[in-house]
Amino acid sequence: MSDDELFELPVSQHWEEADKVRLGRNVRDLRVASGLSQTALADAMRVAGLEHWRQTTVSRIERGTQAINMGELKALEAIVGEGVLRGTELEEGMRKAGRRIHDAYVRVKLGLADKALTDTIEQAETARFQVRQLRYLFDAEFAAKHPEAGGNDGQHQEAT
């Protein structure tokens, strides 16, 4: 689904009547709080690129009888502020979806951190093995060059 198709999805198509009424009440309350008339809101929506908006469109939405799509929702919130969906099932659904996306992001980040930690541990183990090899070679070479030192016959004792 393209972004354009997503923005055309009606957000109130399958809503309960109470949610449609709630959305309409939210639009009215936010519009009034913004100091806009229905006509002024329709004009602002047309400026935002929604040419079909008229005062009657605002009226139908405020009465809960007209569906809006995601593009209209985005434009409405840009004009009157966030809260158009407050108290609706879609708001809760979007909140849950946001939490799921956040949780998935955290799981991915933790997975990446776990992989990085595992890689670091593997690199540390490899480095530790190489240091042991170098100690053994050094001890063996030193013992061969300096038998009077009475070393440990090439066996390096690790400090505890």
- pLDDT tens for 27-50 read 999 999 999 999 999 999 999 999
pTM of the full structure: 0.55
Residue 105 and residue 75 in one domain: no
Name the residue range of residue 17's domain. 3-87
| Contact between 24 and 32 (Cβ < 8 Å) | no
User: CATH number for the domain including 16?
Assistant: 1.10.260.40
| Predicted local confidence at residue 157, as pLDDT | 52
Q: What's the pLDDT tens digit per position in 123-143?
A: 999 899 999 999 988 888 888
d(CA 44, CA 38): 10
Residue finishing a domain among 87, 115, 132:
87
pLDDT (tens digit per residue) in 63-117: 998 878 888 999 999 999 999 989 888 777 777 877 888 888 888 888 888 888 8
- CA–CA separation, 100 vs 44, rounded Å? 34
